[in-house]
Amino acid sequence: AQSVAQPEDQVNVAEGNPLTVKCTYSVSGNPYLFWYVQYPNRGLQFLLKYITGDNLVKGSYGFEAEFNKSQTSFHLKKPSALVSDSALYFCAVRGMNTGFQKLVFGTGTRLLVSP
């Protein structure tokens, strides 16, 4: 069965500092990996995805994520955090096997960027 772990409920970082939000996954075969962000009282917004190719994926709003197959991780990163990045971040995974495989979401990590 597919699963995603986001080990930190909350990440605190000062504005201008680099940020990392951690995600590890478990899936049969190769994974499709996604990051979404949720602002208060809003739906989830797609940030970036990894399907295949370069391990470093660039996405919206200056975010990037690094796929590490050996560590089964897909950490979200940003070189310089903004206060406006404060939100709830979800990692998600689905397998590449044929047939439907649902997108499984992690429990979310709240990012708090202080001025």
Question: Which positions touch other proteins (CB under 8 A)?
Answer: 32, 34, 36, 42-46, 49, 51, 90, 94, 100, 102-105, 107-108
CA distances from 1 to 6, 30, 71 (A): 17, 13, 18
| Alpha-carbon Rg for the chain in angstroms | 14
State which residue, 33 or 81, has the beta carbon closest to other proteins.
Answer: 33
State which residue, 100 or 115, has the beta carbon closest to other proteins.
Answer: 100
In whole angstroms, the minimum distance from the beta carbon of 92 to other proteins comes to 9
Structure-block tokens of residue 71:
């560590």
In whole angstroms, the minimum distance from the beta carbon of 56 to other proteins comes to 18
DSSP letter string over 44-96?
EEEEEEE-SS-SEEE-GGG-EEEEETTTTEEEEEESS--GGG-EEEEEEEEE-
In whole angstroms, the minimum distance from the beta carbon of 112 to other proteins comes to 18
In whole angstroms, the minimum distance from the beta carbon of 90 to other proteins comes to 7
State which residue, 13 or 95, has the beta carbon closest to other proteins.
Answer: 95
